[in-house]
């Protein structure tokens, strides 16, 4: 859960004691939003939480690719592999 009092901090506050904030990031796994002149300017999070976010995004991309492929099949936008590979070979002038 997001805690507005702890998870949004001024950049100057972060600069004064980055070690304390890094301990909190590792413990809570919640990102820290840093502000400059009252506006959000950066998000800081621990490396493990960031990697988890990247993994989720990659999985979502894969699922979307599969969905698009299934839609192509449903709408008949497909061709046999031999035909597609032969066309690729001709386009790129690859000899047999």
Q: Please, which residues bridge with residue 35 across strands?
A: 10, 40
**Domains observed in the chain:** 4-45 (3.40.1620), 49-91 (no CATH)
76-85 average pLDDT score: 94
The two tokens of residue 83 are 């035909």
Spatial separation of the C-alpha atoms in residues 52 and 88, rounded to whole Å = 37
Which band of pLDDT confidence, cut at 50, 70 and 90, is reported for residue 4?
confident
16-39 average pLDDT score: 94
User: What pLDDT was estimated at residue 50?
Assistant: 92
User: What pLDDT was estimated at residue 79?
Assistant: 94
Cβ atoms within 10 A of the Cβ of 32, count? 19
Whether pLDDT at 52 is above 80: yes
Sheet harboring 8-10: ordered strands across?
A: 8-10, 32-36, 39-44
Whether pLDDT at 43 is above 80: yes
């Amino acid at each position: 859960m997001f805690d507005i009092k702890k998870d949004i901090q001024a950049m100057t506050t972060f600069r004064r004691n980055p070690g304390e904030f890094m301990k909190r990031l590792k413990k809570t796994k919640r990102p820290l939003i840093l502000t400059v002149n009252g506006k959000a300017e950066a998000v800081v999070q621990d490396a493990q939480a960031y990697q988890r976010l990247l993994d989720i995004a990659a999985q979502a991309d894969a699922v979307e690719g599969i969905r698009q492929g299934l839609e192509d099949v449903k709408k008949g936008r497909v061709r046999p592999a031999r035909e597609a590979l032969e066309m690729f070979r001709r386009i790129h002038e690859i000899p047999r």
